[in-house]
Amino acid sequence: MAVVLVLGALPMLAGALLPWALLRPNRLAPGEYLHLPPALILGLLGLAALPLLSAFLQPRLTGLAASLALLAGVWVLGDQTRAALAGQADFARASAASGVWLFLLGAGITAYGARLVSPSPGVRLLAWAWLPGVLALGLGGHLSAWSVIVEGQSEGPRWTQELAGHLRLVGGALALAVGLGAPLAVWASGRERAAGALLGLASGVQTIPSLALLGLLIAPLSALSNALPALRDLGVRGIGVAPALSAMTLYALLPVLRGGVVGLRGVSPDVVDAARGMGMTAPQVFWRVRLPLALPVWLSGVRQAAVLLVGVAAVAALIGAGGLGTYIFKGLQSGAADLILLGAVPAALLAVALDTALRGLELLLGRRLGRVALDGGA
């Protein structure tokens, strides 16, 4: 476990010595790298070593020391960007430089390592003590001078619109994948050859790169909308939301199908026989016995599909579907790293939030309903 803490401490030590902010006269112009004052460098060096020392002297406080280092890194980011913009024009930008990212990466590794060395679940929570502090700094406006926040404030309603579009794409594709995959999984779960064929087909679709699949759908959907104007009136075109939704639905089918088939086939035949012996009909056996027991495993597949779709939705911006990918590609085209982060950071947070929420629901259902063995899966 100490190895993880050492691996976290090294980037933190290096980050404290590297430039902490990049001051530019505007969004696109080259800028000047700014180092930390000596007092802050010494403070961050001490915080970088603190979790490692705590692991040997007071293991129960290692999580708190890691959280303190991570929180200090975010605080220094807000402080230094604010100081860099003092006396500058309104369109000047202060970005996070390599020192920030390296220090925060090391602090994150250290927080993870602190969870490993913590002796009890209650003490492990100390490794998350940085989260409310970072939220307080963000909501309190301490990070308002950071260029990513400045870009977000200037984009305002447009950013909200793209975020909503991203959520609609992910939610729509996930709903379609579950709507198509669930009945297919139920049908195939009792048919060995059908299950193999369906999973093989869905697996084959997933081997196609996402951008290639989006491109392959442009021509047929464009021809379809030209042949049937009614579809065009409904928004079905060669570019835009229609091909994005189609490709994302196809991508999400594999985890949904696999989770359903594995979950339903994992229900013990003895349990099913006992239910039949109690006089249950086939629909009652399915709804009251097989589905509840298979649901946690099935939900695991839905979770994997949801996280996958967050990433594919970002790529869909290339064919005019909108979403947070719009900022990522706009930033890449103009060389503006802040715009890239404006799309990439919320997309990453969205994926983590979806994974955490669905994993929690999966564990809750597993405790309440039981969980099937996975060795009988497809």
Indicate whether 317 pLDDT > 70: yes
Query: In the prediction, which pLDDT does 123 show?
Result: 74
Res. 296: pLDDT tops 50: yes
pLDDT, tens digit (0-9, with 9 covering 90-100), for 51-64: 888 888 887 888 88
Up-side HSE of residue 227: CA atoms within 13 Å toward CB?
A: 6
Kindly indicate the confidence band of residue 269, based on its pLDDT and cuts at 50, 70 and 90.
confident
CA distances from 68 to 20, 81, 127 (A): 18, 20, 9
Q: Which residues of 143-167 are buried (b: 16+ CB within 10 A; e: fewer)?
A: bebbbbbbbbeeeeeebeebbebbe
Per-residue H/E/C for 77-124: HHHHHHHHHCCCCCCCEEEECHHHHHHHHHHHHHHHHHHHHCCCHHHH
User: In sequence order, what are the residues at sequence separation of 6 or more whose Cβ sits closer than 8 angstroms to the Cβ of residue 72?
Assistant: 43, 44, 47
Q: pLDDT, tens digit, for every residue of 224-258?
A: 888 887 777 777 777 888 889 999 999 999 999 99
> Residue 378 has what pLDDT?
43
Q: What is the pTM of this model?
A: 0.79
